Chain A
Amino acid sequence: MRLLQILAVVLLAVLPTTAAGQERPAAVAVTVDVGRLHSLDTYLSPLRYSGMHLRVGFERLRATRFNPEAWVNQVSAGVTYDHPSNPAGNNSLHTLIADLDWSMMWRKPLPVDGLTVYAGGALGFDGGVTYNPRNSNNVCSPVINLQAGATGMLAYRTSLGRLPLTLRWQATVPVVGGFFLPDYDQSFYEIYLGNYGPAVNFGWWGNRFDMENLLTADFHFGASSLRLGYRNEFTTLFENNISVRRCVHSLVVGVSWESVRVNLRRADRERAGSISALY
Protein backbone atom coordinates (compact mmCIF):
# COMPACT_ATOMS: atom_id res chain seq x y z
CA MET A 1 0.00 0.00 0.00
CA ARG A 2 2.87 2.36 0.88
CA LEU A 3 4.46 1.67 -2.51
CA LEU A 4 1.19 2.50 -4.27
CA GLN A 5 0.96 5.80 -2.41
CA ILE A 6 4.51 6.76 -3.43
CA LEU A 7 3.78 5.77 -7.03
CA ALA A 8 0.62 7.89 -7.08
CA VAL A 9 2.49 10.93 -5.74
CA VAL A 10 5.27 10.51 -8.34
CA LEU A 11 2.75 10.12 -11.15
CA LEU A 12 0.83 13.20 -10.10
CA ALA A 13 4.09 15.16 -9.92
CA VAL A 14 5.34 14.04 -13.33
CA LEU A 15 2.18 13.99 -15.37
CA PRO A 16 0.65 17.24 -16.52
CA THR A 17 -2.74 17.88 -14.99
CA THR A 18 -5.70 19.96 -15.96
CA ALA A 19 -5.06 23.65 -15.87
CA ALA A 20 -7.26 25.65 -13.54
CA GLY A 21 -10.56 26.43 -15.21
CA GLN A 22 -9.88 24.09 -18.11
CA GLU A 23 -13.06 22.23 -18.94
CA ARG A 24 -13.14 18.57 -19.77
CA PRO A 25 -16.49 18.10 -21.43
CA ALA A 26 -17.81 14.56 -21.45
CA ALA A 27 -19.07 13.11 -24.69
CA VAL A 28 -22.25 11.40 -23.58
CA ALA A 29 -24.49 9.18 -25.66
CA VAL A 30 -27.70 7.30 -25.05
CA THR A 31 -28.40 4.67 -27.67
CA VAL A 32 -30.77 1.89 -28.60
CA ASP A 33 -29.49 -1.18 -30.43
CA VAL A 34 -31.92 -3.19 -32.51
CA GLY A 35 -30.63 -6.24 -34.25
CA ARG A 36 -30.46 -9.94 -34.73
CA LEU A 37 -28.83 -12.54 -32.54
CA HIS A 38 -27.51 -15.96 -33.49
CA SER A 39 -26.71 -18.09 -30.46
CA LEU A 40 -25.83 -21.53 -29.24
CA ASP A 41 -25.62 -22.69 -25.64
CA THR A 42 -25.37 -26.45 -25.40
CA TYR A 43 -26.17 -26.36 -21.67
CA LEU A 44 -29.67 -25.27 -22.68
CA SER A 45 -30.10 -26.90 -26.06
CA PRO A 46 -28.05 -28.51 -28.81
CA LEU A 47 -29.87 -26.33 -31.35
CA ARG A 48 -28.86 -22.94 -32.68
CA TYR A 49 -31.27 -20.13 -31.88
CA SER A 50 -31.73 -16.84 -33.66
CA GLY A 51 -33.94 -13.83 -33.14
CA MET A 52 -34.40 -10.34 -31.82
CA HIS A 53 -31.75 -8.39 -29.94
CA LEU A 54 -32.42 -5.15 -28.09
CA ARG A 55 -30.06 -3.03 -26.03
CA VAL A 56 -30.41 0.30 -24.32
CA GLY A 57 -27.03 1.80 -23.64
CA PHE A 58 -25.22 4.74 -22.16
CA GLU A 59 -21.71 5.87 -22.95
CA ARG A 60 -19.45 8.56 -21.59
CA LEU A 61 -16.04 9.53 -22.91
CA ARG A 62 -14.03 12.10 -21.02
CA ALA A 63 -10.45 13.32 -20.93
CA THR A 64 -8.68 12.26 -17.78
CA ARG A 65 -7.84 14.71 -15.00
CA PHE A 66 -4.13 13.98 -15.49
CA ASN A 67 -2.66 14.67 -18.91
CA PRO A 68 -6.05 15.32 -20.53
CA GLU A 69 -4.52 15.90 -23.94
CA ALA A 70 -3.26 12.35 -24.11
CA TRP A 71 -5.64 10.17 -22.09
CA VAL A 72 -9.37 9.56 -22.07
CA ASN A 73 -11.52 7.26 -20.07
CA GLN A 74 -14.70 5.66 -21.21
CA VAL A 75 -17.61 4.26 -19.28
CA SER A 76 -20.37 2.39 -21.02
CA ALA A 77 -23.30 0.52 -19.59
CA GLY A 78 -26.35 -1.13 -21.01
CA VAL A 79 -29.21 -3.53 -20.58
CA THR A 80 -29.77 -6.19 -23.22
CA TYR A 81 -32.82 -8.30 -23.95
CA ASP A 82 -32.56 -11.16 -26.45
CA HIS A 83 -35.48 -13.23 -27.63
CA PRO A 84 -34.22 -15.89 -30.05
CA SER A 85 -36.21 -18.91 -31.25
CA ASN A 86 -35.25 -22.44 -32.21
CA PRO A 87 -35.24 -23.53 -35.87
CA ALA A 88 -38.66 -25.17 -35.52
CA GLY A 89 -40.05 -21.94 -34.11
CA ASN A 90 -41.82 -23.63 -31.20
CA ASN A 91 -39.58 -22.42 -28.37
CA SER A 92 -37.94 -19.13 -27.51
CA LEU A 93 -35.29 -18.11 -25.02
CA HIS A 94 -35.32 -14.98 -22.91
CA THR A 95 -32.01 -13.32 -22.11
CA LEU A 96 -31.57 -10.31 -19.88
CA ILE A 97 -28.03 -8.98 -19.39
CA ALA A 98 -26.66 -5.85 -17.79
CA ASP A 99 -23.19 -4.78 -18.85
CA LEU A 100 -20.75 -2.26 -17.46
CA ASP A 101 -17.41 -1.47 -19.05
CA TRP A 102 -14.63 0.93 -18.18
CA SER A 103 -11.62 1.66 -20.29
CA MET A 104 -8.74 4.06 -20.33
CA MET A 105 -7.16 4.96 -23.64
CA TRP A 106 -4.13 6.87 -24.73
CA ARG A 107 -4.85 9.02 -27.77
CA LYS A 108 -2.66 10.37 -30.52
CA PRO A 109 -3.70 12.63 -33.39
CA LEU A 110 -2.51 11.19 -36.67
CA PRO A 111 -1.00 13.21 -39.51
CA VAL A 112 -4.32 13.10 -41.36
CA ASP A 113 -6.33 16.12 -40.28
CA GLY A 114 -9.15 15.16 -37.91
CA LEU A 115 -8.01 11.57 -37.45
CA THR A 116 -7.15 10.36 -33.95
CA VAL A 117 -6.16 6.94 -32.80
CA TYR A 118 -6.90 5.62 -29.31
CA ALA A 119 -5.57 2.52 -27.60
CA GLY A 120 -5.78 1.21 -24.08
CA GLY A 121 -7.11 -1.31 -21.63
CA ALA A 122 -10.66 -2.22 -20.74
CA LEU A 123 -12.41 -3.85 -17.80
CA GLY A 124 -15.88 -5.27 -18.21
CA PHE A 125 -18.67 -6.98 -16.34
CA ASP A 126 -21.71 -8.73 -17.72
CA GLY A 127 -24.43 -10.09 -15.44
CA GLY A 128 -27.66 -11.72 -16.42
CA VAL A 129 -29.36 -14.93 -17.34
CA THR A 130 -30.77 -16.84 -20.29
CA TYR A 131 -34.00 -18.65 -19.50
CA ASN A 132 -35.34 -21.61 -21.47
CA PRO A 133 -38.98 -22.05 -20.45
CA ARG A 134 -39.30 -25.62 -21.76
CA ASN A 135 -36.37 -27.06 -19.82
CA SER A 136 -36.31 -28.95 -16.52
CA ASN A 137 -33.18 -28.74 -14.33
CA ASN A 138 -31.16 -26.97 -17.05
CA VAL A 139 -33.74 -24.23 -17.14
CA CYS A 140 -31.36 -21.31 -17.31
CA SER A 141 -27.82 -20.36 -18.12
CA PRO A 142 -26.38 -17.58 -15.99
CA VAL A 143 -24.25 -14.89 -17.56
CA ILE A 144 -21.69 -13.69 -15.03
CA ASN A 145 -18.54 -12.53 -16.66
CA LEU A 146 -15.63 -10.37 -15.51
CA GLN A 147 -13.02 -9.54 -18.09
CA ALA A 148 -9.94 -7.46 -18.78
CA GLY A 149 -8.61 -6.76 -22.21
CA ALA A 150 -7.62 -4.27 -24.85
CA THR A 151 -9.57 -1.67 -26.72
CA GLY A 152 -8.70 0.56 -29.62
CA MET A 153 -10.49 3.31 -31.47
CA LEU A 154 -10.18 5.46 -34.56
CA ALA A 155 -12.09 8.75 -34.63
CA TYR A 156 -12.34 10.99 -37.65
CA ARG A 157 -13.82 14.45 -37.53
CA THR A 158 -15.11 15.54 -40.90
CA SER A 159 -18.22 17.05 -42.40
CA LEU A 160 -21.04 16.08 -44.67
CA GLY A 161 -21.54 19.22 -46.68
CA ARG A 162 -21.92 21.82 -43.95
CA LEU A 163 -22.89 19.28 -41.33
CA PRO A 164 -20.06 18.38 -38.92
CA LEU A 165 -19.68 14.68 -38.54
CA THR A 166 -17.62 12.38 -36.32
CA LEU A 167 -16.95 8.87 -37.48
CA ARG A 168 -15.67 6.25 -35.10
CA TRP A 169 -14.65 2.63 -35.11
CA GLN A 170 -13.93 0.96 -31.79
CA ALA A 171 -12.89 -2.62 -31.22
CA THR A 172 -12.69 -4.28 -27.80
CA VAL A 173 -11.13 -7.65 -27.17
CA PRO A 174 -11.09 -9.13 -23.65
CA VAL A 175 -7.99 -11.17 -22.95
CA VAL A 176 -8.45 -12.72 -19.51
CA GLY A 177 -11.23 -12.90 -16.97
CA GLY A 178 -13.49 -15.11 -14.96
CA PHE A 179 -16.90 -16.41 -15.78
CA PHE A 180 -19.63 -18.57 -14.30
CA LEU A 181 -20.69 -21.61 -16.27
CA PRO A 182 -22.19 -24.76 -14.72
CA ASP A 183 -20.38 -28.00 -15.32
CA TYR A 184 -21.54 -30.13 -18.27
CA ASP A 185 -24.72 -31.57 -16.73
CA GLN A 186 -24.55 -29.88 -13.35
CA SER A 187 -27.90 -28.85 -11.96
CA PHE A 188 -28.58 -25.60 -10.15
CA TYR A 189 -29.81 -27.71 -7.24
CA GLU A 190 -26.26 -29.02 -6.83
CA ILE A 191 -24.88 -25.49 -7.07
CA TYR A 192 -27.49 -24.41 -4.50
CA LEU A 193 -26.24 -27.19 -2.21
CA GLY A 194 -22.82 -25.56 -2.31
CA ASN A 195 -20.90 -27.38 -5.04
CA TYR A 196 -20.22 -24.34 -7.19
CA GLY A 197 -16.48 -24.87 -7.67
CA PRO A 198 -16.71 -26.38 -11.17
CA ALA A 199 -18.93 -23.50 -12.27
CA VAL A 200 -16.34 -20.78 -11.60
CA ASN A 201 -13.94 -20.65 -14.53
CA PHE A 202 -10.85 -18.71 -15.52
CA GLY A 203 -11.29 -17.22 -18.96
CA TRP A 204 -8.53 -16.78 -21.51
CA TRP A 205 -8.20 -17.09 -25.25
CA GLY A 206 -7.85 -20.83 -24.90
CA ASN A 207 -11.44 -21.27 -23.74
CA ARG A 208 -13.27 -18.14 -24.80
CA PHE A 209 -12.89 -15.32 -27.25
CA ASP A 210 -15.02 -12.19 -27.26
CA MET A 211 -14.88 -9.25 -29.57
CA GLU A 212 -17.00 -6.17 -30.01
CA ASN A 213 -16.85 -3.82 -32.95
CA LEU A 214 -18.70 -0.52 -32.92
CA LEU A 215 -19.02 1.82 -35.87
CA THR A 216 -20.75 5.12 -35.23
CA ALA A 217 -21.42 8.33 -37.09
CA ASP A 218 -22.36 11.34 -34.96
CA PHE A 219 -24.15 14.02 -36.97
CA HIS A 220 -23.75 17.25 -35.03
CA PHE A 221 -26.93 19.31 -35.11
CA GLY A 222 -26.15 22.20 -32.77
CA ALA A 223 -25.70 21.14 -29.16
CA SER A 224 -26.86 17.58 -29.73
CA SER A 225 -25.90 14.97 -32.22
CA LEU A 226 -27.69 12.14 -33.89
CA ARG A 227 -25.80 8.91 -33.54
CA LEU A 228 -26.23 6.16 -36.12
CA GLY A 229 -24.11 3.07 -36.09
CA TYR A 230 -23.55 -0.63 -36.26
CA ARG A 231 -22.47 -2.94 -33.46
CA ASN A 232 -21.19 -6.47 -33.76
CA GLU A 233 -20.73 -8.61 -30.66
CA PHE A 234 -19.09 -11.98 -30.93
CA THR A 235 -18.46 -14.63 -28.29
CA THR A 236 -17.26 -18.17 -28.64
CA LEU A 237 -16.65 -20.24 -25.56
CA PHE A 238 -15.85 -23.88 -24.89
CA GLU A 239 -15.50 -24.92 -21.27
CA ASN A 240 -16.81 -27.83 -19.18
CA ASN A 241 -17.63 -29.52 -22.50
CA ILE A 242 -20.22 -26.80 -23.09
CA SER A 243 -20.21 -24.67 -26.21
CA VAL A 244 -21.56 -21.15 -26.08
CA ARG A 245 -21.61 -18.93 -29.14
CA ARG A 246 -23.19 -15.58 -29.57
CA CYS A 247 -23.11 -13.28 -32.56
CA VAL A 248 -25.09 -10.05 -32.72
CA HIS A 249 -25.48 -7.62 -35.59
CA SER A 250 -27.35 -4.52 -34.57
CA LEU A 251 -28.22 -1.07 -35.76
CA VAL A 252 -27.36 1.65 -33.25
CA VAL A 253 -29.53 4.74 -32.99
CA GLY A 254 -29.20 7.42 -30.35
CA VAL A 255 -28.37 10.93 -29.32
CA SER A 256 -25.07 12.25 -28.10
CA TRP A 257 -23.93 15.53 -26.66
CA GLU A 258 -21.12 17.09 -24.71
CA SER A 259 -21.74 17.93 -21.09
CA VAL A 260 -19.68 20.11 -18.77
CA ARG A 261 -19.64 19.69 -15.02
CA VAL A 262 -20.12 23.07 -13.30
CA ASN A 263 -19.23 23.62 -9.67
CA LEU A 264 -21.96 25.88 -8.31
CA ARG A 265 -20.02 26.59 -5.12
CA ARG A 266 -17.32 28.35 -7.05
CA ALA A 267 -17.39 31.02 -9.71
CA ASP A 268 -16.86 28.41 -12.44
CA ARG A 269 -20.30 28.89 -13.84
CA GLU A 270 -19.46 32.44 -14.81
CA ARG A 271 -16.23 31.25 -16.42
CA ALA A 272 -18.12 28.47 -18.17
CA GLY A 273 -20.60 30.97 -19.38
CA SER A 274 -23.55 28.86 -18.28
CA ILE A 275 -26.96 30.34 -17.80
CA SER A 276 -29.00 28.66 -15.13
CA ALA A 277 -32.76 28.81 -15.31
CA LEU A 278 -33.03 28.34 -11.55
CA TYR A 279 -29.89 29.60 -9.84
Chain B
Amino acid sequence: MQEILQYIFSGITNGAIYAIIAVGFSLLYNSTEIINFAHGEFVMIGALSLVTLWGSFHLPLPLAFVLTIVVVSGTGLLFERFAIRTVKKPDHIVLVIITVGASIFLRGIAMLIWGKDAYSIPPFSSNPPIDIAGARLLIQSIWIIVISLLSVVALYFFYNKTLTGKAIRACAINKKAAWLTGIPSGKMVMLSFVLSIGMGAVAGLIIAPITMCSYDMGTMLGLKGFCAAMLGGLGSLWGALIGGFILGILEAMGVGFVSSSLKDAIAFVLLLLILFIRPGGIIQSKDVQRF
Protein backbone atom coordinates (compact mmCIF):
# COMPACT_ATOMS: atom_id res chain seq x y z
CA MET B 1 0.00 0.00 0.00
CA GLN B 2 2.71 2.38 1.07
CA GLU B 3 4.66 1.41 -2.01
CA ILE B 4 1.76 2.02 -4.37
CA LEU B 5 1.24 5.44 -2.87
CA GLN B 6 4.92 6.20 -3.32
CA TYR B 7 4.74 5.16 -6.98
CA ILE B 8 1.65 7.28 -7.50
CA PHE B 9 3.39 10.31 -6.04
CA SER B 10 6.37 9.95 -8.29
CA GLY B 11 4.09 9.17 -11.22
CA ILE B 12 2.06 12.31 -10.71
CA THR B 13 5.22 14.39 -10.44
CA ASN B 14 6.62 13.03 -13.68
CA GLY B 15 3.17 13.16 -15.21
CA ALA B 16 2.85 16.87 -14.50
CA ILE B 17 6.12 17.45 -16.34
CA TYR B 18 5.08 15.30 -19.30
CA ALA B 19 1.75 17.08 -19.32
CA ILE B 20 3.23 20.52 -19.58
CA ILE B 21 5.59 19.39 -22.35
CA ALA B 22 2.64 17.79 -24.11
CA VAL B 23 0.71 21.04 -23.82
CA GLY B 24 3.54 22.74 -25.70
CA PHE B 25 3.26 20.19 -28.53
CA SER B 26 -0.51 20.54 -28.66
CA LEU B 27 -0.53 24.33 -28.71
CA LEU B 28 1.76 24.51 -31.65
CA TYR B 29 0.10 21.68 -33.51
CA ASN B 30 -3.24 23.37 -33.08
CA SER B 31 -2.27 26.59 -34.71
CA THR B 32 0.31 25.45 -37.25
CA GLU B 33 -0.12 21.67 -37.66
CA ILE B 34 3.60 21.39 -37.06
CA ILE B 35 4.98 18.87 -34.60
CA ASN B 36 8.00 20.56 -33.15
CA PHE B 37 10.61 17.90 -32.53
CA ALA B 38 12.92 20.55 -31.12
CA HIS B 39 10.51 21.09 -28.25
CA GLY B 40 12.50 18.91 -25.86
CA GLU B 41 15.62 20.99 -26.52
CA PHE B 42 13.80 24.07 -25.34
CA VAL B 43 12.99 22.22 -22.13
CA MET B 44 16.71 21.51 -21.83
CA ILE B 45 17.65 25.14 -22.44
CA GLY B 46 15.12 26.14 -19.80
CA ALA B 47 16.63 23.79 -17.24
CA LEU B 48 20.22 24.74 -18.00
CA SER B 49 19.41 28.46 -18.01
CA LEU B 50 17.99 28.10 -14.52
CA VAL B 51 21.12 26.20 -13.49
CA THR B 52 23.23 29.13 -14.67
CA LEU B 53 21.04 32.00 -13.52
CA TRP B 54 20.00 30.64 -10.15
CA GLY B 55 22.68 28.06 -9.40
CA SER B 56 25.76 29.98 -10.61
CA PHE B 57 24.77 33.66 -10.69
CA HIS B 58 22.64 33.36 -7.53
CA LEU B 59 19.90 35.60 -8.83
CA PRO B 60 16.70 35.57 -6.76
CA LEU B 61 14.52 32.63 -7.80
CA PRO B 62 11.54 34.61 -9.19
CA LEU B 63 13.88 36.76 -11.28
CA ALA B 64 15.72 33.68 -12.54
CA PHE B 65 12.34 32.19 -13.43
CA VAL B 66 11.25 35.16 -15.47
CA LEU B 67 14.64 35.58 -17.13
CA THR B 68 14.73 31.92 -18.10
CA ILE B 69 11.31 32.09 -19.69
CA VAL B 70 12.35 35.24 -21.55
CA VAL B 71 15.59 33.66 -22.76
CA VAL B 72 13.92 30.46 -23.95
CA SER B 73 10.93 32.21 -25.55
CA GLY B 74 13.37 34.56 -27.23
CA THR B 75 15.25 31.59 -28.64
CA GLY B 76 11.90 30.25 -29.82
CA LEU B 77 11.12 33.55 -31.46
CA LEU B 78 14.41 33.49 -33.36
CA PHE B 79 13.74 29.87 -34.29
CA GLU B 80 10.34 30.78 -35.78
CA ARG B 81 11.58 33.94 -37.43
CA PHE B 82 14.66 32.50 -39.11
CA ALA B 83 14.14 28.75 -39.46
CA ILE B 84 10.40 28.44 -40.02
CA ARG B 85 9.13 31.64 -41.60
CA THR B 86 11.87 31.93 -44.17
CA VAL B 87 10.90 28.62 -45.78
CA LYS B 88 9.77 29.29 -49.34
CA LYS B 89 7.42 26.33 -49.71
CA PRO B 90 6.11 25.70 -46.20
CA ASP B 91 4.79 22.15 -46.52
CA HIS B 92 4.16 20.61 -43.14
CA ILE B 93 6.55 17.76 -43.68
CA VAL B 94 9.36 20.17 -44.61
CA LEU B 95 8.73 22.23 -41.48
CA VAL B 96 8.67 19.14 -39.27
CA ILE B 97 12.02 18.05 -40.67
CA ILE B 98 13.39 21.53 -40.03
CA THR B 99 12.42 21.12 -36.38
CA VAL B 100 14.39 17.88 -36.28
CA GLY B 101 17.38 19.75 -37.66
CA ALA B 102 16.86 22.56 -35.19
CA SER B 103 16.84 20.02 -32.38
CA ILE B 104 20.29 18.75 -33.35
CA PHE B 105 21.54 22.31 -33.79
CA LEU B 106 20.26 23.47 -30.39
CA ARG B 107 21.77 20.44 -28.68
CA GLY B 108 25.12 21.29 -30.28
CA ILE B 109 24.95 24.92 -29.18
CA ALA B 110 24.02 23.84 -25.66
CA MET B 111 26.98 21.50 -25.57
CA LEU B 112 29.28 24.38 -26.55
CA ILE B 113 27.83 26.68 -23.88
CA TRP B 114 27.37 24.30 -20.96
CA GLY B 115 29.74 21.53 -21.87
CA LYS B 116 29.08 17.82 -21.46
CA ASP B 117 28.82 17.89 -17.68
CA ALA B 118 25.60 17.27 -15.82
CA TYR B 119 24.51 19.88 -13.30
CA SER B 120 22.13 19.75 -10.40
CA ILE B 121 20.51 22.47 -8.37
CA PRO B 122 18.73 22.35 -5.01
CA PRO B 123 14.93 22.29 -4.80
CA PHE B 124 13.06 25.61 -4.80
CA SER B 125 12.38 25.38 -1.06
CA SER B 126 14.35 23.37 1.45
CA ASN B 127 11.48 22.03 3.58
CA PRO B 128 11.67 18.31 4.40
CA PRO B 129 9.39 15.92 2.50
CA ILE B 130 5.86 15.41 3.79
CA ASP B 131 4.97 12.00 5.17
CA ILE B 132 1.60 10.74 3.93
CA ALA B 133 0.62 7.25 5.09
CA GLY B 134 4.24 6.21 5.09
CA ALA B 135 4.98 7.52 1.60
CA ARG B 136 7.14 10.59 1.12
CA LEU B 137 6.08 13.50 -0.99
CA LEU B 138 8.84 15.92 -1.93
CA ILE B 139 8.06 19.60 -1.65
CA GLN B 140 9.50 20.02 -5.12
CA SER B 141 6.79 17.64 -6.38
CA ILE B 142 4.16 19.97 -5.03
CA TRP B 143 5.87 22.88 -6.76
CA ILE B 144 5.89 20.93 -10.00
CA ILE B 145 2.25 19.90 -9.82
CA VAL B 146 1.01 23.34 -8.80
CA ILE B 147 3.01 25.19 -11.44
CA SER B 148 1.92 22.78 -14.20
CA LEU B 149 -1.73 22.99 -13.31
CA LEU B 150 -1.59 26.78 -12.95
CA SER B 151 0.05 27.11 -16.37
CA VAL B 152 -2.59 24.95 -18.01
CA VAL B 153 -5.44 26.83 -16.37
CA ALA B 154 -3.88 30.15 -17.39
CA LEU B 155 -3.60 28.92 -20.96
CA TYR B 156 -7.19 27.74 -20.92
CA PHE B 157 -8.34 31.19 -19.91
CA PHE B 158 -6.11 32.83 -22.46
CA TYR B 159 -7.53 30.73 -25.30
CA ASN B 160 -11.17 30.96 -24.28
CA LYS B 161 -11.59 34.34 -22.68
CA THR B 162 -9.24 36.79 -24.36
CA LEU B 163 -9.54 38.29 -27.82
CA THR B 164 -5.97 37.43 -28.74
CA GLY B 165 -6.49 33.84 -27.64
CA LYS B 166 -9.64 33.56 -29.70
CA ALA B 167 -7.84 35.15 -32.64
CA ILE B 168 -5.16 32.45 -32.43
CA ARG B 169 -7.89 29.83 -32.42
CA ALA B 170 -9.56 31.49 -35.38
CA CYS B 171 -6.29 31.29 -37.32
CA ALA B 172 -6.05 27.62 -36.43
CA ILE B 173 -9.61 26.98 -37.59
CA ASN B 174 -9.32 28.75 -40.92
CA LYS B 175 -6.29 30.80 -41.73
CA LYS B 176 -7.74 32.43 -44.81
CA ALA B 177 -10.96 33.46 -43.12
CA ALA B 178 -9.01 34.85 -40.17
CA TRP B 179 -6.79 36.79 -42.52
CA LEU B 180 -9.76 38.26 -44.36
CA THR B 181 -11.30 39.17 -41.02
CA GLY B 182 -8.29 41.35 -40.31
CA ILE B 183 -6.39 39.07 -37.96
CA PRO B 184 -2.65 39.16 -38.71
CA SER B 185 -2.09 35.40 -38.90
CA GLY B 186 1.69 35.67 -39.18
CA LYS B 187 1.85 37.35 -35.79
CA MET B 188 -0.52 34.76 -34.34
CA VAL B 189 1.71 31.91 -35.53
CA MET B 190 4.67 33.67 -33.94
CA LEU B 191 2.75 34.05 -30.72
CA SER B 192 1.86 30.35 -30.77
CA PHE B 193 5.52 29.48 -31.11
CA VAL B 194 6.45 31.73 -28.24
CA LEU B 195 3.69 30.36 -26.01
CA SER B 196 4.44 26.76 -26.84
CA ILE B 197 8.16 27.18 -26.28
CA GLY B 198 7.47 29.22 -23.15
CA MET B 199 5.64 26.16 -21.84
CA GLY B 200 8.76 24.16 -22.64
CA ALA B 201 10.77 26.63 -20.60
CA VAL B 202 8.42 26.21 -17.64
CA ALA B 203 8.83 22.44 -17.89
CA GLY B 204 12.59 22.88 -17.84
CA LEU B 205 12.39 25.15 -14.81
CA ILE B 206 10.39 22.82 -12.65
CA ILE B 207 12.25 19.70 -13.61
CA ALA B 208 15.74 21.12 -13.02
CA PRO B 209 15.91 20.45 -9.26
CA ILE B 210 14.86 16.79 -9.48
CA THR B 211 17.07 15.62 -12.30
CA MET B 212 20.59 15.89 -13.64
CA CYS B 213 20.60 18.68 -16.21
CA SER B 214 22.80 18.22 -19.23
CA TYR B 215 22.79 19.17 -22.89
CA ASP B 216 21.25 15.86 -23.96
CA MET B 217 18.38 15.66 -21.47
CA GLY B 218 15.87 17.21 -23.88
CA THR B 219 15.45 14.51 -26.47
CA MET B 220 13.91 11.89 -24.22
CA LEU B 221 11.76 14.44 -22.41
CA GLY B 222 10.51 15.76 -25.74
CA LEU B 223 9.61 12.27 -26.94
CA LYS B 224 7.83 11.48 -23.68
CA GLY B 225 5.89 14.72 -23.97
CA PHE B 226 5.02 13.84 -27.54
CA CYS B 227 3.75 10.42 -26.42
CA ALA B 228 1.64 12.10 -23.75
CA ALA B 229 0.19 14.53 -26.29
CA MET B 230 -0.68 11.70 -28.69
CA LEU B 231 -2.12 9.66 -25.85
CA GLY B 232 -4.44 12.40 -24.72
CA GLY B 233 -5.32 13.65 -28.17
CA LEU B 234 -3.03 15.99 -30.07
CA GLY B 235 -4.39 19.50 -30.11
CA SER B 236 -6.41 19.22 -26.93
CA LEU B 237 -5.32 21.06 -23.81
CA TRP B 238 -7.09 18.74 -21.39
CA GLY B 239 -6.03 15.74 -23.45
CA ALA B 240 -2.40 16.73 -22.98
CA LEU B 241 -2.96 16.98 -19.25
CA ILE B 242 -4.66 13.58 -19.01
CA GLY B 243 -2.11 11.96 -21.31
CA GLY B 244 0.76 13.33 -19.23
CA PHE B 245 -0.59 12.03 -15.94
CA ILE B 246 -1.51 8.61 -17.34
CA LEU B 247 1.93 8.22 -18.85
CA GLY B 248 3.64 9.36 -15.65
CA ILE B 249 1.69 7.03 -13.39
CA LEU B 250 1.99 4.01 -15.67
CA GLU B 251 5.70 4.60 -15.94
CA ALA B 252 6.11 4.78 -12.19
CA MET B 253 4.07 1.59 -11.73
CA GLY B 254 6.07 -0.21 -14.39
CA VAL B 255 9.33 0.83 -12.82
CA GLY B 256 8.14 -0.11 -9.35
CA PHE B 257 6.52 -3.45 -10.01
CA VAL B 258 8.43 -4.80 -12.99
CA SER B 259 11.83 -3.32 -13.68
CA SER B 260 13.38 0.10 -13.94
CA SER B 261 14.87 -0.81 -17.31
CA LEU B 262 11.31 -0.74 -18.66
CA LYS B 263 10.86 2.95 -17.92
CA ASP B 264 11.34 4.32 -21.41
CA ALA B 265 9.74 1.37 -23.16
CA ILE B 266 6.41 2.00 -21.48
CA ALA B 267 5.94 5.38 -23.17
CA PHE B 268 6.59 3.98 -26.61
CA VAL B 269 4.45 0.88 -26.14
CA LEU B 270 1.65 3.19 -25.07
CA LEU B 271 2.26 5.37 -28.12
CA LEU B 272 2.02 2.38 -30.44
CA LEU B 273 -1.08 1.08 -28.69
CA ILE B 274 -2.90 4.38 -28.92
CA LEU B 275 -1.95 4.74 -32.57
CA PHE B 276 -3.32 1.27 -33.32
CA ILE B 277 -6.48 1.47 -31.28
CA ARG B 278 -7.48 5.09 -31.13
CA PRO B 279 -5.30 7.32 -33.33
CA GLY B 280 -7.13 10.47 -32.27
CA GLY B 281 -6.13 10.00 -28.64
CA ILE B 282 -8.27 9.69 -25.56
CA ILE B 283 -9.96 13.03 -26.11
CA GLN B 284 -10.54 12.88 -29.81
CA SER B 285 -10.65 16.39 -31.15
CA LYS B 286 -12.58 16.09 -34.36
CA ASP B 287 -10.96 18.86 -36.28
CA VAL B 288 -7.33 17.86 -36.05
CA GLN B 289 -7.37 14.78 -38.28
CA ARG B 290 -5.36 16.34 -41.03
CA PHE B 291 -2.32 14.22 -41.71
A and B form one complex: no
> Which residues from chain A sit less than 8 Å from chain B, CB to CB?
none
